[in-house]
Amino acid sequence: MSQTAQLLDGKTLAQKMQAELRSRIQSLQAEIGRKPGLAVLMVGDNPASAVYVRNKEKACEQIGMASFGQHFGANTTQAELEAAIDRLNEDPNVDGILIQLPLPDHLDAVPLLHRIHPDKDADGLHPLNLGKLVRGEPGLRSCTPAGVMRLLEEYQIGLSGKQAVVIGRSILVGKPIALMLLAEDATVTMAHSRTQNLSGITSEADILIVAAGRPELVTAEMVKPGAVVVDVGINRVTSADGKSRLVGDVHFDSVQQVAQFITPVPGGIGPMTVTMLLHNTVWSYAHREGKTHT
């Protein structure tokens, strides 16, 4: 008799965490005398990015955070964006700065990300913050992997001694999540597009994190019975009748019959990513104002 996996419900946890952040902001604001501030920079009119930015700004408002969003035209120059980042770095009311990726082709994201002050790096992507992650020191953590770890913690999923497999090696998700899993004493294998015998590797995993960017790549026969499967992917696919839907990197319907826990798409890691962005901004706010003990 097959049993259906328990859902790792990121949406509900995100709501709980945002309520906690709201009350933390209220108590800190009474001491500090201002709200925390997040600035999201968006360039061009990518429709998916516009939705993400709107969600982030709405979430800011709901928890009592000031939003300093700036929207630039598609033909904005590198120098104009650098100047905008410099202004935000100097602005005492801004605690977190985020560049919404992807940027138009004529812009180079890397020097822009490096230009954000490490203490205001809401996405946790500055080399200094990534270096702190490697060294196991406190600091701002990349939002998506930090959201994965927080979700596993909420469901009391032990990682120590477990075999963890990460599919995907991006600096956004794959590499940082591997380091975070190692820090919790998991044994980590990293797989990617060149990996041979992928299903042989994934079927050994107690914890399988999939961040490959390929729709429904992982199917039931690739998953160890009773495994924990975290699907970081979000892909829009169009069926033969022209209707589009969102799917992850995991074939949800089949894997749900094999795994013990699984994240849905949407409603799994997506809401956690936004919440960790807010969490990082509040952490910076408290840290910069010397209130880290509260």
Per-residue pLDDT for 47 more than 90? no
Give the confidence band of 294 by pLDDT, cuts at 50, 70, 90: very low
In the chain, pLDDT over 90 holds for what percent of residues?
Answer: 89
- Rg of the chain over Cα atoms, rounded to whole angstroms, equals 19
> From CA 182, how far away is CA 179, in angstroms rounded?
5
Task: Please give the domain boundaries of the chain with CATH numbers for all domains.
Answer: 33-117 (3.40.50.10860), 142-270 (3.40.50.720)
**Residues recognised as catalytic:** 56, 100, 123
Contact 133, 141 (CB under 8 A): yes
The tens digit of pLDDT for each residue in 159-214 reads 999 999 999 999 999 999 999 999 999 999 999 999 999 999 999 999 999 999 99
Tell me the pLDDT of the chain averaged across its residues: 95
3-state secondary structure of 73: coil
pLDDT at residue 293 is higher than 70: no
In whole angstroms, give the CA distance from residue 276 to residue 278: 5
Task: Measure the CA–CA gap between 61 and 16, rounded to whole angstroms.
Answer: 16
- Please tell me the predicted confidence (pLDDT) of residue 48: 81
The yes-or-no verdict on residue 62 having pLDDT over 60 is yes
Least confident of 41-50, 105-114, 260-269: 41-50
User: In this predicted structure, which of 194-198, 228-232, 244-248 has the lowest mean pLDDT?
Assistant: 244-248
